[in-house]
Structure 1
């Protein structure tokens, strides 16, 4: 399958909470970029859904933002570690707080 993204993502596991109205569900990222991230989860929401996200950077800085699900792949819980990309790809649409910290963190992954 051909890569559709214009901006390269970097593999990095960071803690993220997500939810439709409030970030309640806990998961981890698999990769991220300046404009989006992949959330590894067995219970992804449907594509097109707007999520509220709370990303916790390695230095414990919280990043609050909203993102729209571009695609999702549901995988049985016992297969999550074996199957490639079980979860959802999310495009960040707006930051509430932590934008600069997030962008600096992503920039550090490209060095």
Structure 2
């Protein structure tokens, strides 16, 4: 039975990126792989090091990054969400809310928000 895959958490990726930036000259992927193994007592492939250092993970370098976040999601339709929340709060005591009613209101509101 193959060993169970253990993901590299975002905090470990951020530390790896910071270590890479702090060294001059920058270490190569093999050296970073060895450093990671010593630091976290687990192996990491050089291809994973390359991916972690790519621009895909630039968000890990930002000060607003929260290591406890499991998945980074981009907010979609924030104005629509705000409008629906306000509408639900205004009518929740007067009307029984159903999924169909909420979908209708969402479609109606979407058409009336100018930024969409």
Relative to the length of structure 1, the TM-score reads 0.25
Greater helix proportion: 2
Relative to the length of structure 2, the TM-score reads 0.24
Name which structure has the greater RCO, CA cutoff 8 Å, separation 6+. Answer: 1
